[in-house]
């Protein structure tokens, strides 16, 4: 599989994910609730959209993936995870309440504790690092599984 095909497959996963994620999140947030502490609706929609977008992309690119399947799927999954890592790094900068959320979560765990500004920044960085780690792990695992299963659903025609 050529590098251009890898990039196109990774971009296809991203586009499909963008088209699937918002409707899924709306439905699941309504069904599972938006006010809960763990925010299950967002988490379930993220997992489902990662898996479904990789599954569909694996089905679309099954012919090209069939040649060197594990190597190509691994490269696409790593590319997909890298893209999600960048997104996870950018999101806190674009959300005005990210720091407040991190602060509320900390204060809920350790009531009465006060931190200096430097300690708050360290806590927010740790929170962001955890979000990036979890996003990358989910993108790698669900991307690999989805691409593999998707490529198995559409076997190449024998010539």
The C-alpha atoms of residue 65 and residue 149 are separated, in whole angstroms, by 11
Asked whether residue 58 is domain-assigned, the answer is yes
- pTM value? 0.82
Q: Residue 132, Cβ neighbours under 10 Å: how many?
A: 18
Say how many Å lie between the first and final Cα of the chain, rounded: 19
Residue 159 within a domain? no
C-alpha 88: how far from chain center: 8
The single-letter DSSP state of residue 110 is S
How many Å apart are CA 86 and CA 134, to the nearest integer? 13
Query: Do the domain assignments include residue 98?
Result: yes
> Is residue 158 in a domain?
no
pLDDT band of residue 85 (cuts 50, 70, 90) is very high
The length of the chain is: 159
**pLDDT per residue as tens digits for the range 17-71:** 999 998 988 887 777 766 555 577 778 888 999 999 999 999 998 888 877 778 8
User: Number of folded domains in the chain?
Assistant: 1
Q: Is residue 29 part of a domain?
A: yes
Least Cα distance to 44 among 142, 149, 130 occurs for: 142
The pLDDT tens digits for 86-117 are: 998 898 888 888 888 888 888 888 998 888 98
Whether 96 maps to a domain, the answer reads: yes
Residue ranges making up the domain that contains 77: 3-153
Confidence tier at 136 by pLDDT (50, 70, 90): very high
């Amino acid at each position: 599989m050529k590098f251009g095909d890898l990039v196109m497959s990774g971009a296809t996963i991203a586009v499909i994910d963008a088209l699937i994620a918002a409707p899924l999140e709306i439905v699941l947030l309504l069904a599972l609730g938006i006010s809960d502490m763990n925010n299950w609706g967002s988490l379930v929609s993220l997992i489902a959209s990662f898996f479904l977008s990789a599954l569909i992309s694996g089905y679309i690119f099954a012919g090209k993936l069939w040649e060197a399947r594990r190597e190509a799927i691994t490269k696409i999954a790593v590319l997909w995870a890298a893209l999600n890592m960048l997104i996870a790094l950018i999101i806190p900068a674009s959300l005005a309440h990210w720091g407040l959320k991190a602060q509320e979560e900390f204060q809920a765990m350790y009531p009465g504790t006060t931190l200096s500004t430097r300690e708050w920044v360290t806590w927010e960085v740790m929170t962001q690092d955890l979000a990036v780690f979890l996003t990358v792990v989910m993108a790698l695992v669900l991307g690999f599984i989805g691409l593999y299963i998707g490529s198995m659903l559409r076997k190449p025609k024998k010539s």
